[in-house]
Amino acid sequence: MLQNFAKSLLDVADNLERASSVVKESFSKIDASKDSVGAVPLLKTLLEGVEMTEKLLLEVFRKFGVEKYDPTNEQFDPHRHHAVFQIPDASKPPGTVAVVLKPGYMLYNRIIRPAEVGEQQ
């Protein structure tokens, strides 16, 4: 029961993380000196709200035994990782997780969603 509930909230966590990334990216594209409509303070407030919500959700997850993991640079493990694509990258050994598309989640050290990754060829 708890596992199903936790799994249903993982997409919420993913969307909060995506929203945070998009707003951060938007900051880099705004010329603050030409911000006549006041978008910068609005984006800053939006980002703070999204980040606080994401942090709170992750704290609730931890309270109930759900942990997020980022396997960047780990050796590929089919039990912990789902390879979505392979990429050539001479700077990393073959079979290494090169890119994480979606982080993985565990419930009391049991995988409830493997991380979606790009694996080094």
Q: Report CA Rg, the chain.
A: 18
Give the model's pLDDT for residue 103: 97
Give the model's pLDDT for residue 29: 78
Residue spans of the domains in the chain: they are 1-64, 66-121
What is this structure's pTM? 0.84
Per residue in 45-101, pLDDT (tens digit) is 989 999 999 999 999 999 999 999 999 999 999 999 999 999 998 888 999 999 999
CATH of 66-121, one of 3.90.550.50, 3.40.50.1860, 2.30.22.10, 1.10.3720.10: 2.30.22.10
Dump strand ranges (E) for 7-121.
66-69, 81-87, 97-102, 104-107, 110-113, 115-120
- Whether residue 25 is predicted with pLDDT greater than 90 in this model: the reply is no
Cβ distance 106 to 77 under 8 Å? no
